[in-house]
Amino acid sequence: MRNMNTIDKIQDKSAVIGIVGLGYVGLPLMLAYAAKGYKVLGFDVDQAKIDCIEKGESYIKHIGSDELAKFVGDRLIHATADFARIVEVDAIIMCVPTPLDEHYEPDLSYVIGTMDSVSPYLCAGQIISLESTTYPGTTEEELKPRIEAQGLVAGKDIYLVYSPEREDPGNASFTSRNIPKVVGGSTPACLEHGVALYSAAVTEVVPVSSTQVAEFTKLLENIYRAVNIGLVNELKIAADKMGIDIWEVINAAATKPFGFKAFYPGPGLGGHCIPIDPFYLTWKAREYGVHTRFIELAGEINRSMPQYVVSKTAEALNSVKKAVNGSRVLLMGLSYKEDVDDMRESPTFELMDKFTEMGAEVDYFDPHIPIIGPTREHANWQGKESIEWSEENISSYDVVVIVTKHKAYQLNDLCDWASLIVDTRNTIPNDRLRNIWSA
């Protein structure tokens, strides 16, 4: 049995922090704890990630290798695929995916699979925190029974908390270290330990009364964004029919110093949070007889945007007497947001599928993603490479569709070389609007 004074170990920095899942959430968290002087042991089933970490090499573009290499060299960071080494850590932070299944219902297989891998090696005194976005009740209904099946009582032998990740890849102003951390505990003792755990690495910790409140908090944050994006996407279509520039409207409205926050239309939602998380609450709400109409309507509108882009592209091609069938289409931007290499749930994949189904030849250009790696839902595109940026290449396409607004784009060259551009992100400068279609 390990020493039960876990909070003391955190405070004197002798605690070893275990992080399970070393992706866009787990890797920054490893660095945050190591920067405070803690030894961190990372766990992942992907041996390629383990190998990169052990060599001090970052596999996420916006996370540099210098800091990682220093911590590995200082023996503060180590990574393994051996879950039996859970016995070595004082805290276990789970950062694994929570996707949707084909029916837009929660897929907790990664959470449950991870918990089943971890639970045989749990020791008294450890803290377990789930960071994966999920529906209210997951921590108590799925994790707690598996822990207590090992003979460990939450709040007495082991400390169970939920603290939702709030990562924003590529955001230089806010990182794991300074984004306020919401923490809910299964019991008051669990909360006390969770607050101690995160206070060690994060500037501000926000305790709440339960794991369910913490789970709901993350869903509210992302539902707020999804619903407002759905609203502005719907207004974009209405404004287009009226011949009104929705971007000018939004910029004008944003001059109001109170009561308005600008959201912008786009070709569809991307990333691991906004397209997925709202449906976790929709699914759970049905258990209570609640029909979450705003969430479902926003989801319907947002999911329809790739088809809207395809329709506008077909209209643009038709204006120059061409059909989608047989055309060469270049999609600019594979990542779901600007200036990062994160392609999770990117609407570009759906556009690639739709244009291909219509008989077009489709390529992509993204300076941040030179080749498409493994994905859960788009395995057919794995291995496809970004085109090289050149006048010869760009001018060979019948239409270029701007899907993601990267700062690295050479827009003047694009305007000079491309014969037809469909802009979904208000990217092209006003003085270069020639053969430009807004979508």
Active-site annotation, residues: 273
Edge-first strand listing for the sheet containing 436-438 = 361-365, 328-332, 399-402, 421-423, 436-438
d(CA 40, CA 60): 18
3-state SS record for 297-315: HHHHHHHHHHHHHHHHHHH
d(CA 207, CA 202): 13
Q: Give, to the nearest 10 degrees, the angle between helix 47-54 and helix 65-73.
A: 70
| Amino acid at position 387, single letter | I
| Token representation of residue 149 | 């099946």
Contacting residues for 164 by C-beta, under 8 A, at least 6 apart: 131, 133, 182, 214, 215, 217, 218
CA 243 to chain centre: 34
Per the CB < 8 A criterion, the answer to whether 309 and 349 are in contact is no
Place of tokens 């001018």: 395
Closest by CA to 125, choosing from 175, 183, 55, 196, is 196
| Token representation of residue 98 | 């929570």
d(CA 230, CA 214): 25
